[in-house]
Structure 1
Amino acid sequence: MRTAAKALTAALILAALALPGWAAFVPGTEDVPLAPGLEIPAEQSVVFDQPSGRIVEATASGPAEPAAVERFYAESLPQLGWKAAGKGRWTRAEETLSLTIARQGRTTTVRFTLTPQDRP
């Protein structure tokens, strides 16, 4: 079963990389693509993998327009199994992804926070 899951993950990654604009993923993930026009500096991400799930915090920035970034994630995340859960929030399996998009001058900054879902 684990082998099948790993093979499916690898196939999804290869398929995503073949699509225009999907050249990279947020560090620590294989299921959160980096929108075109954004870059993540090497030291701008924190990744923890623990028994309750992974925690990823990363910040990307670049000249991309905020509306284009929002549109990219609204179109791409559902293809990777994420479900919209409010403005800038997505859920999948037992994880929550939050995106905060801000514009300052000519630079758009996106903060990614991936955490295990709160369990009742």
Structure 2
Amino acid sequence: MRTFTSLMGAIALLLLSLGTAQAQGFLSAYEDLPLPPGMTEVTDSGLSFDTPAGRIVEAFARGPLKAGEIIAFYAATLPQLGWTRDSDRQYRRETELLKLDTQAEGRNVVVHFTIAPE
């Protein structure tokens, strides 16, 4: 019984840590699109809805990174998640197209994510 209780406690801690990592490191509107370290989502600024052709998502994130660092992060990360690179700022996965636009805002860079059907 003691082993079972320890195992259940370990599973609970693992699930809590996974939930925390997801809440801090991924877009809320598109749950498997990670954010580079130091970037935070601009909440209540995007949109997400389904169409007959597929879903459309727009989201924004901000942080004290350079645009090149952000683009390099996605070049290294997105292929591991099944995205195919069309260019530095455009990726495809199944029937979806992801576009990344960056804009300087003071000391920060804002990333505009657009995901739409092809």
> What's the TM-score bracket when you normalise by the shorter of the two chains?
0.7 to 0.9
Aligned-residue identity in percent: 39
Q: Distance in 1 between matches of 2:37 and 2:107?
A: 15
Larger Rg: 2
**Is there any run of 5+ residues in structure 1 with no aligned partner, and where?**
1-13
TM-score normalised by length of structure 2? 0.75
Q: CA–CA distance in 1 between the matches of 2:24 and 2:41?
A: 13
Describe the superposition over 1:41-82 as per-residue Cα deviations: whole angstroms up to 9, x where unpaired: 221110012331110001111112222111110000000000
Instruction: Map 1:33-72 to 2 at 5 A.
Output: 33-72=34-73
CA contact (8 A) 2:29 2:59 kept: no
1:104 aligns with 2:105: yes
Where do 1:6-17 residues align within 5 Å? 17=21
1:72-112 deviations in Å (ceiling 9; x for gaps): 10000000000011230000100000000122331111000
Q: Secondary structure at the match of 1:75?
A: helix
Counterpart amino acid of residue 74 in structure 1: A
Give runs of ≥4 in structure 1 deviating > 3 Å. none
Aligned residue pairs total 99
User: In 2, distance between residues paired with 1:29 and 1:100?
Assistant: 16
- Which letter maps to 1:46? L
Classify the secondary structure of the residue corresponding to 1:100.
Answer: strand
The Cα RMSD (Å) is 1.9
1:23 shift after superposition: 4.0
Q: Is 2:94 the partner of 1:116?
A: no
Q: Normalization by structure 1: what TM-score?
A: 0.73
